[in-house]
Structure 1
Amino acid sequence: MYILGVPRYANTAPLYHFLEEGDGLAFRYGVPTELNRWLLEGSVDLSLVSSYFYLEHAHQLRPLPDFSVADLGPVYSVNLFHRIPWNDLKRIALTTESATSVRLLQYLLEADGIQAQYTPAQGGLELLEQYDAVLLIGDRAITTYYGLLSIIPESVHQVPNQIEGIRITDLSMKWFERTRLPFVFGVWATRRNAPPPPEIVRRLRSARSLGLGNLAAVAGTEAQRLGVPERLMQHYLWNFRYHLEAPDRLGLEAFAKAVGLPYPDDYWDV
């Protein structure tokens, strides 16, 4: 049985919504930090892994050359929620689900000359009673943001970044403002000595094509799962880049340089 590691986040759903288990394929769900560990341990064979983890372990891993979870501009689900201005932040509560988002936040703050203290913590906006800011990602970030909205914006130009005294800093947008590049949050990867069967890659590509071609159906399922409006979910999903194209690779290379990690360019041709 070939085990596929999958994060149960809405933004990855277009990649596997139409991918069926069976015929030698099984899913194992987890948050990015779990999936990263399982891939190295060998308890999953192919997994979506966070980009920072991939860059750290590039000598052990190989990415599929044409799969990513990336975006250009706002991502809407990697958000720093805070009551005081960005430049005044001192004490920050961090998600424990993803090292990539944490490292991106640290880089952006350091680039602006801000020295903050970071504490891993589980929770939501209630953490703002103890900390200047809280970093949330994925589904929790989406549902937290939706909980603050009084109306659903009709246009991307009407998406508020301050609601009821709470500021929302989108880290991907902050990255774009600094670099003018996409940010790659994750890639499909295998261990270097365990290439994926061509049939598995074919099924992944087919599922992605169906997912992107039927985005309304994917958005409807994810909106119902999270209890958010379908229109909000559809806008969220159409914002992503899933093919690791040249601009995305440039963004990944820039992130590697920003955090002091080597950038591997030996993509596996599958």
Structure 2
Amino acid sequence: MTRLYPVGLIHYTNVAPILDDIELPDTVTAVRGVPTEMNAALLDGRVSFANISIIEFIRHADTLAALPDFSVAVLGAVYSVNLFHRRPWADLHGARIALTAQSAGSVALLEVLLRHSRLNVTLERAEGHARDLLDAGYDGVLRIGDSALREWYDAVGPIHDDVSVLDLPHQKDGLIVTDLAQKWFELTGHPFVFAVWAYRKDDPPPPELLRAMRMARRRGIGHLGDISARHAAKLGLPERVVQHYLWNFRYHLEAPDRLGLQEFADLAVPGHAPLTLANPDTLRP
């Protein structure tokens, strides 16, 4: 019997242009989950290929390689990786910050940004709506993904049609939403790569899967309006906001993204193993 190649998929809205309409080959079987679940599945061998948090790719660069032309990256604001807080960022010294367990990469980015600002804080695992956790006594709450996107809009909206999508708000009624990707851009001038499509070096993905992914990406980017409308209805958000959210993303791991990836690797994991960005065909026996 032919072995089915196990693939891990994370179905946040930010990968909708790649995954919404992908036609997986018959040789592939899919496992779905949140980033931390797919990180674990790739590292323990339950899947051989997945879009995973960038920090786990860096930490395990000795055993993992990444496709050289796929990423989930953004230059500037991302809107879905947010620290919610009421005190200004510079006044968060000594703060208690609630962390989601869904994303190791976003936690690592927050830690890098806090160290750069010389802010000593207490980080604690806690799940829940940002406002509820702030009301419960936390000074900051890290939220990611579709939930963070909705909570950002709930915090600063409604946003009317006469507001430029290049000037969307991040503060209202005493609640501050610090976009960590924007904070990274202000620090480095580089894009931030949230995820790569990584595979175990001893089990690279089959060519038919890569062809399917590239075809799906071309179709998805060419139909962002349709994808935005579909996901806006699911999220309960204005279509124009979701379309702006999606067209911000960089899905090809281009030269600026690689610079940002390398800088984050050096800051987050000093002394890490060299990062391997390689076409799987070059690693096949």
* Identical counterparts, % of pairs: 49
Aligned to 2:106: 101
Structure 1 residues not aligned, in runs of 5+? none
Alpha-carbon distance in structure 1 between the residues aligned to 2:273 and 2:222: 32
2:264 alignment partner, one of 238, 246, 255: 255
User: What's the TM-score once normalised by structure 1's chain length?
Assistant: 0.96
Post-superposition shift, 1:109? Answer: 1.1
Q: Shift of the alpha carbon at 1:257?
A: 1.1
Number of equivalent positions: 270
Q: TM-score, normalised by structure 2?
A: 0.91
CA–CA distance in 2 between the matches of 1:263 and 1:146? 39
- Greater displacement, 182-191 / 156-165: 156-165
| 1:4 CA drift (Å) | 2.1
**C-alpha displacement at 1:169, in angstroms?**
0.4
Q: Is the 8 A contact 2:5 2:205 kept in 1?
A: no
CA distance in 2, matches of 1:155, 1:97: 31
Look up the SS of the partner of 1:42 in the other structure.
Answer: coil
- Cα distance in structure 2, aligned partners of 1:136 and 1:203: 31
Moved more, 49-58 or 20-29: 20-29
Task: Say yes or no: does 1:170 pair with 2:179.
Answer: yes
Distance change >3 Å, CA 38–CA 105, structure 1 → 2: same
Tell me, what secondary structure is at the counterpart of 1:38? Answer: helix
Contact 1:16 1:207 in 2 (8 A): yes
Aligned-pair CA distance for 1:80: 0.5
Q: Is the 8 A contact 1:50 1:98 kept in 2?
A: yes
Question: Are the aligned partners of 1:256 and 1:263 in contact in 2 as well (CA < 8 Å)?
Answer: no
Residues of 1 paired with 2:260 and 2:248: CA distance? Answer: 16
**Cα displacement (A) at 1:226:** 1.4
C-alpha distance after superposition, 1:32-59 (max 9, x if no partner)? 1000000122222210001001000011
1:146 deviates by: 1.7
Rounded to whole Å, the distance in 1 between the matches of 2:147 and 2:197 is: 22
Is 1:135 aligned with 2:138? no
Distance 1:27 1:218, change over 3 A: farther
| Matched residue type, 2:226 | A
Question: Who is 1:20 aligned against?
Answer: 23
Q: What is the letter of the counterpart of residue 95 of structure 1?
A: T
Q: CA deviation at 1:267?
A: 2.0
Q: Matches of 1:157 and 1:190 in 2, distance apart?
A: 36
The residue that corresponds to 1:35 in the other structure is 38
Q: Using the alignment, how far apart are the partners of 2:158 and 2:258 within structure 1?
A: 38
> What does 1:165-204 correspond to in 2, within 5 Å?
165-204=174-213
Q: Which moved more, 1:106-115 or 1:144-153?
A: 144-153
Alignment correspondent of 2:283: none
1:176-216 deviation per Cα after TM superposition (whole angstroms, max 9, x unaligned): 00100000000001111001111111111111111111111
Provide Cα deviations, 1:110-168, integer angstroms capped at 9, x if missing partner: 11110000001100120002100100011010111121212346313431121121001
SS at match of 1:20: coil
Equivalence for 1:116: 121
Corresponding residue for residue 267 of structure 1: 277
Greater CA deviation, 67-76 or 3-12? 3-12
Distance 2:243 2:170 in 1: 19
In the alignment, is the contact (CA less than 8 A) between 1:78 and 1:137 conserved in 2? yes
- Residue ranges of structure 2 left out of the alignment (5+ in a row): 281-285
The answer (yes or no) to whether the contact 1:219–1:233 under 8 Å persists in 2 is yes
